[in-house]
A = this chain, B = another copy of it.
């Protein structure tokens, strides 16, 4: 497969850098945890019972066309090769937990991948809406729509006092997790992030790296989400997150202006050196790639680099993950081979861009 072809197949719309404020907010995500009434949570349910849920999904959801999201494809974890699952994890469409741990896990995917419903992860259902840019409200609308659509056909475990019941107590109530992925290089370079992070935590929000809990904030990418799901309405949870994100966007923009005014040459040198290394290197670890892609993306956003489109960070961040590299190579690769393929893929991708 040609690289161009591979990319056009691999890229989901949310990676395309098209949403509002997409110079800073890469993506917005809404997730609702739901369980079917009177069936045990996946942690204690037998494999048979969980397979029964998949039958319900087949019957009630995957065979019907949804008004907005079209036909949903059902993928069972047992039917997939390890690397196919890995690619879905890297695209943020399923969790590592569903891929590796679930007894009868599956996922329902819309064709544009903006909707994914994990089946038999920690809960029976995890409805996820993933959109490009800063679109939390839109995400919540879509998630509610899917929630209603599903509730027409199955009864969800619900308690009048507590709200939706979930496997883990931290999700009880709304079952909602709202999150945004933000690119905040100027706040990192100007050393403001260390001061900002504790303040965000105090507001009841959680900051993580790009691959969820416990992952490092590589490439100046920060995933910010709500911690509380109980005692607040869905709208209030999203509002609280949104107001913090709006402030962060403002702070990042101010920091970028400061960098341009006070150290333009140093910034230009930094982003172009990373551009040069990405264009020429022959082997590169994932961590370095992420950092250098962040530099180049900042250079684009600052108007210092003009011959590249802003979506390359989003794209290449995903395409240079191990699963994707192996999918493109058509074989399982050692760590050294991946580093080499990663450098090659980035070089070829940048060349495509320069030829365009």
- The 8 A CB mask of A340-354 against B (1 = contact, 0 = none) is 100100000000000
Select which of B268, B276, B343 is within 8 A of A269 by beta carbon.
Answer: B343
Select which of B268, B277, B278 is within 8 A of A282 by beta carbon.
Answer: B268
CB atoms of B269 and A273 under 8 A apart: no
Give the chain B neighbours of A283 by CB distance below 8 A.
Answer: 265-266, 269
CB atoms of B279 and A280 under 8 A apart: yes
* Chain B nearest CB, measured from A251 CB (Å): 26
CB atoms of B265 and A273 under 8 A apart: no
Assembly of this chain: how many copies?
A: 2
Give the chain B neighbours of A269 by CB distance below 8 A.
Answer: 281-283, 343
Assess whether A328 is interfacial by the CB under 8 Å rule: no
CB atoms of B280 and A273 under 8 A apart: yes
> How many residues of A are counted as interface, with CB atoms below 8 angstroms from the partner's CB atoms?
17
Assess whether A275 is interfacial by the CB under 8 Å rule: yes
Assess whether A211 is interfacial by the CB under 8 Å rule: no
Assess whether A272 is interfacial by the CB under 8 Å rule: yes
Give the chain B neighbours of A266 by CB distance below 8 A.
Answer: 283
- The 8 A CB mask of A252-289 against B (1 = contact, 0 = none) is 00000000000001101100110111111111000000
Q: How many Å lie between the Cα of A277 and that of B272 in the bound state?
A: 8
CB atoms of A281 and B277 under 8 A apart: no
Q: How many Å lie between the Cα of A35 and that of B272 in the bound state?
A: 54
Give the chain B neighbours of A278 by CB distance below 8 A.
Answer: 276
> Looking across the interface, which residue of chain B has its beta carbon closest to that of A274?
B280
Q: How many Å lie between the Cα of A266 and that of B265 in the bound state?
A: 30
* Chain B nearest CB, measured from A271 CB (Å): 9
Q: How many Å lie between the Cα of A281 and that of B273 in the bound state?
A: 5
> Looking across the interface, which residue of chain B has its beta carbon closest to that of A267?
B282
Chain B CB within 10 A, most for which of A273, A275, A283, A340: A273
Select which of B265, B272, B343 is within 8 A of A280 by beta carbon.
Answer: B272
> Looking across the interface, which residue of chain B has its beta carbon closest to that of A276?
B280
Chain B CB within 10 A, most for which of A276, A277, A278, A340: A276
Give the chain B neighbours of A279 by CB distance below 8 A.
Answer: 276, 279-280
> Looking across the interface, which residue of chain B has its beta carbon closest to that of A283?
B269
Give the chain B neighbours of A343 by CB distance below 8 A.
Answer: 269
Q: How many Å lie between the Cα of A340 and that of B272 in the bound state?
A: 13
Since A265-B340, A272-B282 are in contact, a sample of 5 more A-B pairs with Cβ atoms closer than 8 Å, ordered by chain A residue number, is: A268-B282, A272-B280, A273-B280, A276-B277, A276-B278
Can you show 24 pairs from A to B with CB atoms below 8 A apart?
Answer: A265-B282, A265-B283, A265-B340, A266-B283, A268-B282, A269-B281, A269-B282, A269-B283, A269-B343, A272-B280, A272-B281, A272-B282, A273-B277, A273-B280, A273-B281, A275-B280, A276-B276, A276-B277, A276-B278, A276-B279, A276-B280, A276-B281, A279-B279, A279-B280
